[in-house]
Structure 1
Amino acid sequence: MLRFIGPDRPWFGREHVLIEDLRRAYELLLQRDQEQRAVKGVRQPEEQRRADAHERHIVEQAAARTRRDAALQAQITWQLVPADCAYDWDGNQLPFPEARRPIRAEESVLRVARRPGTVFHDDALNSPFFRDVPVEERFQHLRNVVDKLLRAPTKGTVAVERDHIAVSGQKVTLTLTPDCTMVRTLNPLGPNPLNSTQYNGKR
């Protein structure tokens, strides 16, 4: 047999919450909800304004970068290797290497990037740093630069970023892919690459 056992205290006992107290608590909850909605309504336009300003900043940066690249491209008068290609140390064209596991340790960067399997992007070989170097000699010279910067920790400063690895020193900056399989770019230090120091093969 089943039976219901009610609470120990009757509903209308002394511990029962009065209707007035429930109504007052409900009104307080409504008031708090309205205040939160009002604050949210003020915050949303401010957040939207910040998002719009950030988006405009990104667009302006991209436009400025495009203008700088176009101005630099107009000043290029030296011979270039074919674009959108990768090259081995001997100057042979290769397909772009498949991405591997990123390298984060500086010691590993200094070691792996100097291996013969590292390839060169055409952007690095067409650098203004090599504007007076014949095309057929740039592959060996780029090997020399990479070896110079990565031969010892004191030669270059390694900065590991999320999408690239930058090595700066000896008046140049080169960037590597995160897995150190390709040298992406090589640029002289300074705001205007065309007025910077050129490559000196004797060094």
Structure 2
Amino acid sequence: METRQKGPIGRPRGFDADEALEQAMRVFWKQGYEGASLTDLTSAMGITRTSMYAAFGNKEDLFRKALERYEEGPAAYVARALLEPTAREVATAFLNGAVQVSTRPDCPPGCLGVQGSLAAGDTGLPVRDMLATWRNGGVSRLHDRFRRAIDDGDLTAGTDPVDLARYLMTIGNGIAVQAAGGATREDLQRVADLALRGWPPA
């Protein structure tokens, strides 16, 4: 008996998933997790809710994927900063990157990782916790880099790498909040430069 090979089940996806995720990231970046309705998201993505669920999962799943895209795209300056040869250059690249990304003319002001769930009700608590974990991961990566700088003699032995990492992250987060409130790139660059004046010597 002849067996016919079955074709793929279901209709092919009729949209660019990469571009749809880019648009979702921008909506979350601008409006936050709870502020972004499913209608806002699907309208920007150019797809139906059914297609969104099929391709990305529920809203929380979509946000997680959007955050990953943000980290690999606009927020990639963090990973690049960690590769700088000295601790001071790491700090400079980190803060300059925060200023530039928070004030890009083609993107919402501020930072998705900071503004995503600043005002979260019960339904937004998992995302608030997700973002706290994401930001703490950035602190840990800075801490590890500064610990290495101390071991290499690039920072004095009495320097606390945890405090230094939290200091930088706090300034970076503050830059994002100020940018969302309308501060200009020039204003925030002066803040970044001022923060670096007290950088511990080698």
Q: TM-score range by the shorter chain?
A: under 0.3
Higher-Rg member (1/2): 1
More helix by share: 2
Larger RCO, structure (CA 8 Å, separation 6 or more): 2
TM-score by length of 2: 0.23
TM-score by length of 1: 0.23
